[in-house]
Amino acid sequence: MSQLVEQIRHVCALGALQSVLAIERAVPVLHAGPGCGQKLWGALGLDNGCQGSGYVGGHSVPSTNITEKEVIFGGDKKLRETIENALKVIDADLFVVLTGCTSDIVGDDVGEVVREFQDAGKPVVYAETGGFKGTNIYGHELVLEAIIDQYLKPSEEIEPGLVNIWSVVPFQDAFWTGNLKELEKLVSEIGLKPNVIFGPGRGLQALNKVPKAQFNLLVSPWVGVKNVQSLEEKFGTPYLHYPVLPIGPTETGKFLRTVGEYAGLDSKRIEEVINRHENEYFYYIERSADVLLETRLLPRRFITVADSFYTLGVSKFLINDMGLLPETQFITDDVSPEHQEKIEEEFKNFIDGISSEVVFTNDGGLAQETIRNIKFRGRPLILGSAWERVLAEDINGYQLSISMPLSDRLVLNRSYVGYEGALRLVEDIYSLVLQDFQ
């Protein structure tokens, strides 16, 4: 990500403060400028599905608010004082110190300061997340690395059937709570014991169980590969990497069979689960098929401008299950080059030999310029972010925000994962088509 960017769709590494907040009773302590926190949670939280501050987010996040003094004389003292008092003032179980650009350039010895607290038995870890180092998705991985390295302890025993689920990036994906819950539900239905650290009601209890798992399940095109590899190195836990966010019957069935086979589960039980879900799913799809098929308004072609979870997951669903055809898909989460080829392969692998063009770019302006030059037959469906609303108006498309920023939607527990999630997505897409002319 070295080129200029118009219309941002992710923020910088320090944005991982939101990943900390996604762990119940964990709190980030920023060693950063006064405005970093506000800018980042605004983009990832408030203006992204109206995800607010929750227990200890927003202006509650402790921060050294670095000024000229710390830039010139160093900020170690200020950081030490802030951590010390944060431990007294804030009621939390885990304190994750995150550095910003200023501290990383000036070269404060944050590790040394944090180790003083660790040596005193305080639950403090740190990650160097200076914004210039990468995206908040990269930062999310750094936070998990910090927790793995500095907080988690090896377990004497392995709990059979216990599976840690790692998937979407909290807050970056406005639907993260719903999506993780749905993955958890699916995995438990086939007979495993899911363990998710992010979201309500989990917290350190879930985190502490991580080293005990039978395996790590990573449901992600690329984000988190580094973390499951680290967990394997540190605790010897094997991992299954499933690269597609499963949306709809085709992909979800494949997902459940893959997980079941990997875990050595009875295939009969898995087929029963799949069958039950498909029956229910098709009840609704059959009932709405009249409208899906017999109106003159429905889009036939779609474009995604979204992070890799959704470009891929949604494309699989719309092509393999819903009979739509792809135009170009734009992947905006700054996928590191070593993962791009594998992701691109997935876009050549739809039913009936259908494939889709893919462009990796986090420059939304460039993506939109490319879309404006496509000649459409009929109104296209654009699954993107709030930045695409103006574009859709200009090119007469149908637009639904699914990827950061979702400043035009309020998201609570909605999920687009699995069978249920696919039904929600169909509801959302076709409701906007129907609302468009009424």
Partner 1 sequence: MAINVQSAEAAVRESRLGAITGYNGTIKDLVSRASCCSLKNRERCFSQASACSSGCAQGYLSGIEDAAIVNHAPIGCAADSIYGNTANKWGESIRGWKHRNINFITTNMTEEDTVFGAVNKLREAVREAYMRFKPKAIFVTTSCVSGIIGEDIKSVLDELSDEIPVPLSPVFCEGFKSKVWASGFDAAFHAILTAIVKPPEVKTNKVNMINFRGGAKEAITAILARFELEPVFVAPFSTVEELSKMSESAATISICGTLGSYLGNGLEEQYGVPYVKSLQPHGTAGMDSWLRGLGKATGKENEVEEYIAEEKARITSELAVIREKLKGYKAVVGMGPSFGHNYIRVLQELGVEVVWGATWHFDQHYDHGTCPESSRKLSDSETDIPISVCDQQNFELLNLLNKLKPDLYISRHGGTAVWATKMGIASVMVADEYSAFGYQGLIDFGYRLIDAVTNRSLAKNLSARVKLPYTDWWLSQDGFSFLQEEVG
Among positions 61-120, residues that touch partner 1 (CB under 8 A) are 61-68, 70-71, 81-82, 85-86, 88-92, 100-102, 105-106
Three-state DSSP state, 12: strand
CB of 78 to partner 1, least distance (A): 9
CB of 109 to partner 1, least distance (A): 18
Rounded Cα distance between 61 and 86, Å, is 9
Residues paired with 124 in a beta bridge = 95
Rounded Cα distance between 26 and 36, Å, is 19
Rounded Cα distance between 51 and 410, Å, is 8
Q: Does 401 bind partner 1 (CB under 8 A)?
A: no
Rounded Cα distance between 164 and 181, Å, is 13
404 touches 172 (CB < 8 A): yes
Would you give the DSSP letter of residue 124? E
Select the residue interacting with partner 1 from 194, 249, 405, 421 (CB under 8 A): 405
Name the residue among 116, 122, 94 with its Cα closest to residue 29: 94
The residue (of 131 and 211) whose beta carbon lies closer to partner 1 is 131
Q: Who contacts 393 (Cβ-Cβ below 8 Å, separation ≥6)?
A: none
The residue (of 27 and 312) whose beta carbon lies closer to partner 1 is 27
Name the residue among 33, 14, 17 with its Cα closest to residue 102: 33
Select the residue interacting with partner 1 from 74, 93, 118, 133 (CB under 8 A): 133
Q: Does 409 bind partner 1 (CB under 8 A)?
A: no
Residue 360: Cβ within 10 Å count: 19
Rounded Cα distance between 284 and 322, Å, is 13
The residue (of 53 and 288) whose beta carbon lies closer to partner 1 is 53
The residue (of 56 and 96) whose beta carbon lies closer to partner 1 is 56
Question: x/- binding map, residues 346-385, to partner 1, per CB under 8 A?
Answer: -------------------x---x----------------
Select the residue interacting with partner 1 from 7, 237, 304, 399 (CB under 8 A): 7
Near partner 1 in 307-346, by CB under 8 A: none
By CB under 8 A, which span of 131-139, 161-169, 186-194, 422-430 interacts with partner 1?
131-139
The residue (of 6 and 149) whose beta carbon lies closer to partner 1 is 6
Would you give the DSSP letter of residue 42? I
Q: Does 233 bind partner 1 (CB under 8 A)?
A: no
Rounded Cα distance between 287 and 427, Å, is 12
Q: Does 230 bind partner 1 (CB under 8 A)?
A: no
The residue (of 405 and 418) whose beta carbon lies closer to partner 1 is 405
CB of 7 to partner 1, least distance (A): 6
The residue (of 18 and 308) whose beta carbon lies closer to partner 1 is 18
By CB under 8 A, which span of 9-17, 150-158, 209-217, 423-431 interacts with partner 1?
9-17
By CB under 8 A, which span of 8-16, 168-176, 342-350, 420-428 interacts with partner 1?
8-16
Total residues at interface with partner 1 (CB under 8 A): 77
Torsion 11-12-15-19 (CA) sign = positive
Near partner 1 in 35-64, by CB under 8 A: 35-40, 42-44, 46-48, 52-53, 55-56, 58-64
Select the residue interacting with partner 1 from 131, 178, 211, 224 (CB under 8 A): 131
Three-state DSSP state, 166: strand
Near partner 1 in 15-34, by CB under 8 A: 15, 27, 30, 32-34
Buried b (16+ CB within 10 A) or exposed e, 121-155: eebbbbbbbbbebbbbbbbbbbbbbbbbebbbeee
CB of 397 to partner 1, least distance (A): 14
CB of 102 to partner 1, least distance (A): 5
Name the residue among 355, 359, 353 with its Cα closest to residue 373: 359
201 backbone φψ class: left, alpha, beta (φ>0; ψ -120 to 50)? left
